[in-house]
């Protein structure tokens, strides 16, 4: 009998513990990595403001950042899914350029821009599907397959377009432009779309079967298969999701910079910046765990650091040095969290 | 008397020239029971359970579920009949929550595939309590990596329990576990039997087998050499019997060696 009582006691304590873990504490606990990056971000912003109040208390700089930042956010969020599933996609920026090319070429030919956007997204999704098939069906390692795809697409776009820019200025002030790149007051609409993308990704990752499955697949492939998760489909879907995001980001970038121009070289910097946002956000490459909110904060941090360093008076040459420093510091702090 | 849940008749299986199982007859009763399957390495224990879970196809013999003869026995059919094999660590996704592990691949979802997390946590809570999971520190939203070896096994058992497994197969669940941890697993198994699941418990350890089983089955070189109800024997007797079997085994080996030389 005393044994039973003891058991009951333990249960009560259990429930108490459970209750105490609800709410804010739980949120803090689950998002520790993302929040630590967020704190770094706030401190940096304060430093920037102190160093250069004229610029950093002026809304113009935020307007500029909020126009380009959404592209990175839209790209970074689905990448979390691929990385959590223990794969990687290095072709996403090339895929974005490819989708933008499809969009620019068709819209220039006089097609309805909404239809062209749909085509761009489908094109992106198709590339994602091919990536997924290469990994899942043929069994290539994703890092190799997507490097191949990256070169293939870059070459295809360069050869196909003859590196001729396609200006998209004629779209300005059309309903299409206002929907995706207009302004509400002074606030760039792009940022609202980035938040929409964030909400969708968070719903999928934290509350949907897809997020649950992808975490299990990345965590323990064998047992996921044994438990009846269709591992191939889940992984392929993650690549397709990245592809869809590439299509959308491509259109956003076309509308933001008002042209299609396949600059060789610069896409790689964007690719690494986006990947770094995912990593400093707190998603490791070991699979099974990741955070969408972290990737969002990571993207913001890196974008603000880039701007902040330039505006703080250091020449552009130093940007990457400080970016690298921030990335390394963030990653080190994650390691510290983990070992606790 | 209810039909036997599972019956294997005259099952033989060989790999090349090595005969792993010879005309084995094995059954699980209709009402829940715990069967300890004992035997040395290479006795054919794993071959037997792999045949039950459909991974291996027997060379000859028949398999019956609830008295009905099953044709083309396979992993899918085995699972559909309610046979769940629990592997030690392989079965769990370590960094995921306890609840997510229990419902892995079979999440409770609403329309559009959104997971009913609250319900899952509540169900996981209830299940863990049912099987006597009384850890003070962990709740259904803790990651499995923080659990002890025995508790991890408990999660896998809870999973089998929730999906109403008729028969759970535990492959050496107590290997590399401390005594208290092993006791925990025995509790889990007993609770699972109360919940209506039978269990095949595979082990080298006679004491463990005797402790938890209603019936012990001893395999030796592909044959069932002994079968005894717990009520009809003591652990000392069981150990003696096993020693006899081992001695015979030794004699046979000697014989083989003599014949060879």
The CATH label, of 3.40.50.720, 3.40.640.10, 3.40.50.300, 3.40.50.970, for the domain at B6-260 is 3.40.50.300
Confidence band for A96, pLDDT divided at 50, 70 and 90: very high
* Chain A residue at shortest CA distance from B138: A14
A39 in B contact zone (CB under 8 Å) = no
Task: Summarize pLDDT for A110-140 with one digit per residue, the tens.
Answer: 999 999 999 999 999 999 999 999 999 999 9
CB-based contact, A17 to chain B, within 8 Å = yes
Q: Which residue in B85, B100, B105 has the most chain A C-beta atoms within 10 A of its own C-beta, making it the best mutation to test that interface? A: B105
Encoding tokens for residue B180? 């208290």
What local confidence, expressed as pLDDT, does residue B88 receive? 58
Alpha carbon distance A197, A245 (integer Å): 9
Task: Say whether pLDDT at A7 is over 60.
Answer: no
Rounded to the nearest 5°, which phi and psi values hold at B233? Answer: -150, 165
Chain B partners within 8 Å of A13 (Cβ) = 136
Closest chain B CA to residue A13 = B136
Instruction: Output phi, psi for B137, to 5 deg.
Output: -95, -25
User: What interface predicted TM-score (ipTM) does this complex get?
Assistant: 0.78
pLDDT of residue A21: 52
Closest residue in B to A215 (Cα–Cα): B96
Nearest CA in chain A to B98: A216
CB-based contact, A84 to chain B, within 8 Å:
no
Separation in Å, CA B187 to CA A145, A217, B181, B214: 49, 30, 10, 14
Beta-carbon contacts below 8 Å between A and B: 85
With a cut of 60, say whether residue A339 has pLDDT above it. no
Contacts of B100 in chain A (CB under 8 A): 212, 215-216
Judge whether A3 is closer than 8 Å to chain B, CB to CB.
no
Cα separation, A186 vs B84, whole angstroms: 60
Helices (H) and strands (E) counted in chain B, each on its own, are: 8, 10
Among A52-66, A194-208, A227-241, B213-227, the least confident range: A52-66
Distance from chain centroid for Cα B93 = 20
Residue whose entry in the numeric block shows the structure tokens 């980001």: A249
Q: Confidence class of residue A19 from pLDDT cuts 50, 70 and 90?
A: very low
Is A206:A27 a contact under the CB 8 Å cutoff? Answer: no
B139·A18 Cβ contact <8 A? yes
**pLDDT at residue A162 in the model:** 86
Residue in B with minimal Cα distance to A227: B105
Give the whole-angstrom CA distance, residue B120 versus residue B141. 10
CA distance A193 to A66: 11
Which CATH number, 1.10.8, 1.10.10, 1.10.150, 1.10.3470, labels domain A68-332?
1.10.3470
Per-residue confidence (pLDDT) for residue B233, from 0 to 100: 83
Which residue in B has a C-alpha nearest to residue A212's C-alpha? Answer: B100
Whether A10 and chain B come into contact, CB under 8 Å, resolves to yes
Neighbours of A77 (CB within 10 A): 29
* SS3 label, residue B5: coil
Residues B180-236: tens digit of each pLDDT: 778 878 888 888 888 888 999 888 888 888 888 999 998 888 888 888 888 888 888
Find out whether A223 and B92 touch, Cβ atoms under 8 Å: yes
Q: What's the pTM value of the predicted model, to 2 decimals? A: 0.82
- Residues 289-308 in A contacting B (C-alpha not used; CB under 8 Å): 289
User: pLDDT, tens digit, for every residue of B243-258?
Assistant: 888 777 766 556 556 6
Give A3's pLDDT tier (boundaries 50, 70, 90): low
Residues of chain B with pLDDT under 70: 1-2, 87-90, 134-138, 250-261
Give residue ranges of B with CB < 8 Å to any A CB. Answer: 87, 90-96, 100, 103-107, 109, 112-115, 117, 125, 129, 132, 134-137, 139-141
Greater confidence (B141 vs A246) lies with A246
Alpha-carbon distance B93 to nearest alpha carbon in chain A (angstroms): 5
**Spans of all domains in chain B:** 6-260
Longest Cα–Cα distance in chain B: 72
Could you tell me if A184 lies within 8 Å of chain B, comparing CB atoms?
no
Q: Coil, strand, or helix at residue B24?
A: strand
CA distance A225 to chain B (A): 8
The whole-number pLDDT of residue A16 equals 44
DSSP helix/strand/coil, A57: coil
Rounded to the nearest integer, the mean pLDDT of chain A is 86
Tokens of B76: 């899918």
Yes or no, beta carbons of A227 and B104 under 8 Å apart: yes
DSSP A125-193: HHHHHHHHHHHHTS---HHHHHHHHHHHHHHHHHHHHTT--EE-GGGTTSHHHHHHH-EETTEEHHHHH
- B193–chain A nearest CA distance, Å: 20
Q: Is B188 helix (H, G, I), strand (E, B) or coil?
A: helix
Per CB-CB distance under 8 Å, the chain B contacts of A208 are 112-115
Q: What are phi and psi of B25, to 5 degrees?
A: -110, 130
- Nearest-Cα residue of chain A relative to residue B120: A207
pLDDT digits (tens, 9 = 90+) for A28-47: 776 777 788 888 888 888 88
Main-chain dihedrals φ then ψ at residue B226, nearest 5 degrees: -155, 145
Q: Per 3-state DSSP, what percentage of chain B is helix, strand, and coil (rounded to 5)?
A: 40, 25, 35
Taking an 8 Å cut-off on Cβ atoms, the answer to whether B135 and A26 are in contact is no
Contacts of A17 in chain B (CB under 8 A): 136-137, 139
Cα torsion angle, B63, B66, B72, B74, sign = negative
Coarse DSSP helix, strand, coil percentages of chain A, rounded to the nearest 5 percent: 80, 5, 15
Residues A161-204 pLDDT 10s: 888 889 999 999 999 999 999 998 888 999 999 999 999 999 99
Q: pLDDT value at position A214?
A: 96
Between B109, B136, B141, which is nearest A14 by CB?
B136
Residue contact B106–A227, C-beta within 8 A: yes
| Residue A80: Cβ-neighbour burial (10 angstroms; 0-12, 13-18, 19+) | buried
Q: What is the model's pLDDT at position A69?
A: 94
What one-character DSSP code corresponds to residue B145?
A: G
As a whole number of angstroms, the longest Cα–Cα distance in chain A is 84
């Amino acid at each position: 009998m005393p044994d039973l009582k003891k058991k009951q006691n333990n249960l009560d304590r259990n429930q108490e513990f459970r209750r105490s873990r609800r709410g804010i504490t739980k949120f803090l606990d689950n998002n520790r990595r993302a929040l630590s990056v967020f704190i770094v971000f706030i401190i940096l912003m304060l430093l920037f403001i102190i160093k250069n109040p004229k610029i950093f208390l002026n809304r113009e700089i935020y307007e500029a950042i909020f126009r380009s930042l959404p592209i990175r956010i839209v790209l970074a969020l689905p990448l979390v899914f691929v990385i959590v599933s223990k794969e990687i996609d290095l072709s996403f920026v090339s895929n974005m350029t490819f989708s933008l090319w499809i969009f620019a070429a068709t819209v220039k030919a006089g097609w309805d821009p909404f239809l062209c956007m749909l085509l761009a997204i489908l094109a992106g999704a198709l590339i994602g599907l091919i990536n997924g098939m290469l990994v899942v069906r043929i069994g290539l390692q994703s890092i190799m397959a997507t490097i191949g795809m990256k070169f293939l697409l870059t070459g295809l776009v360069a050869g196909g377009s003859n590196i001729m820019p396609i200006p998209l200025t004629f779209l300005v002030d059309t309903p299409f432009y206002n929907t995706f790149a207009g302004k509400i007051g002074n606030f760039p609409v792009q940022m609202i779309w980035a938040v929409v993308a964030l909400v969708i990704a968070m719903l999928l990752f934290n509350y949907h079967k897809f997020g649950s499955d992808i975490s299990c697949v990345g965590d323990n492939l064998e047992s996921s298969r044994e438990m009846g998760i269709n591992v191939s489909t889940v992984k392929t879907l993650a690549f397709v999701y990245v592809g869809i995001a590439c299509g959308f980001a491509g259109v956003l970038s076309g509308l933001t910079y008002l042209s299609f121009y396949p600059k060789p070289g610069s896409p790689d910097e964007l690719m690494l910046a986006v990947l770094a946002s995912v990593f400093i956000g707190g998603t490791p490459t070991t699979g099974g765990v990741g955070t969408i909110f972290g990737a969002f904060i990571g993207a913001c941090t890196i974008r603000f650091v880039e701007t902040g360093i330039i505006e703080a008076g250091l020449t552009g040459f130093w940007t990457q040095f400080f970016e690298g420093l921030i990335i390394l510091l963030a990653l080190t702090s994650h390691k510290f969290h983990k070992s606790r | 008397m209810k039909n036997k849940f599972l019956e294997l008749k005259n099952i033989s299986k060989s790999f090349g020239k090595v005969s792993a199982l010879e005309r084995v007859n094995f059954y699980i009763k209709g009402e829940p029971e715990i069967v300890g399957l004992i035997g040395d390495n290479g006795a054919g224990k794993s071959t037997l359970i792999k045949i039950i879970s459909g991974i291996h196809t027997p060379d000859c013999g028949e398999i019956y579920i609830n008295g009905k003869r099953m044709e083309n026995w396979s992993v899918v059919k085995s699972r559909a009949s309610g046979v769940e094999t629990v592997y030690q660590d392989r079965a769990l996704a370590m960094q995921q929550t306890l609840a997510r592990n229990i419902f892995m691949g079979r999440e409770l979802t609403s329309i559009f595939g959104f997971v009913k997390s609250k319900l899952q946590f509540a169900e996981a809570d209830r299940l863990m309590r049912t099987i006597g999971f009384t850890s003070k520190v962990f709740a259904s939203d803790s990651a499995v990596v923080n659990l002890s070896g025995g508790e991890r096994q408990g999660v896998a058992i809870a999973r089998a329990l929730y999906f109403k497994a008729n028969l759970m197969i535990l492959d050496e669940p107590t290997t590399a576990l401390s005594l208290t941890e092993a006791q925990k697993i025995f509790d889990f198994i007993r609770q699972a039997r109360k919940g209506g699941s039978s269990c095949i418990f595979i082990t080298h350890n006679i004491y463990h087998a005797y402790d938890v089983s209603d019936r012990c089955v001893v395999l030796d070189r592909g044959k069932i050499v002994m079968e005894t109800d717990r009520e009809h024997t003591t652990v000392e007797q069981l150990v003696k019997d096993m020693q006899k079997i081992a001695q015979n085994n030794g004699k046979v080996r000697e014989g083989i060696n003599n014949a060879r030389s």
